[in-house]
Amino acid sequence: MELLAVAALIALLAGVFIARAGRSGSKSAVLRAGRELYLTARYARVAAVQSGREVALVLDGKQGRFLLTRRGEKADQGEQVISDSYSRAYKLPETVKIERVKTEADECVFYPDGGTEPALVQIGDGGSSVTVLVNALGRVRLVQGVVEDVETGRVDLDKK
């Protein structure tokens, strides 16, 4: 009887541990993807300043990926995908989705002067989320959880 009670307790604890491990694996996938997006955005600013051309962080929610493109100097050159040792197109894990994007379009453009268009990108798996914030000065932050608004990096002197 005592042996049966001990076996039941071990089974119960094992079940709790397995359930927690499954959730933490999903959360770590969200954190890894968020960190990759954060590093890609930081590199986009460096690439824009170094090349002297605009670099866009393209957010493709339908295909679950993001990538960097360099704008051509002439209109007919179009855009070139940046793929080097620091940047590549990143495919999100199956469970992780781009949940919210707050920019002018589905991209965040980094300018050669170091500035950028403010952006807020939230990715998650329905349970846990991370948010990447980019302000107008090109500063990039990674925040765990949901953020309601994007920092512009600008001060409105007319507001009281």
Q: Enter the tokens of residue 19.
A: 């359930």
**All domains of the chain, ordered by start, with CATH?**
2-144 (3.55.40.10)
3-state DSSP helix/strand/coil % of the chain, to nearest 5: 35, 30, 40
Residue in the structure block whose two tokens are 């007319």:
158
Position 11 scores a pLDDT of 66
CA pair distance 55, 59, nearest whole angstrom:
13
85 vs 116, residue with greater confidence: 116
pLDDT of residue 104: 75
Q: What is the pLDDT of residue 75?
A: 42
Query: What is the predicted pLDDT for the residue at 19?
Result: 54
- How far is Cα of residue 147 from the mean position of the Cα atoms in its chain? 13
Max mean pLDDT among 33-47, 86-100, 143-157 falls in 33-47
CA distance 59 to 122: 11
Give the pLDDT score at 9.
62
- How many C-beta atoms lie closer than 10 Å to residue 72's C-beta? 13
Q: What is the pLDDT of residue 74?
A: 46
Buried b (16+ CB within 10 A) or exposed e, 19-40: eeeeeeebbebbbebbebbbbb
Pair of tokens at residue 88: 């590549």
> pLDDT tens for residues 13-64?
666 566 554 544 568 899 999 999 999 999 999 999 999 999 999 988 888 8
Compute the distance between CA of residue 90 and CA of residue 64 in angstroms, rounded to an integer.
9
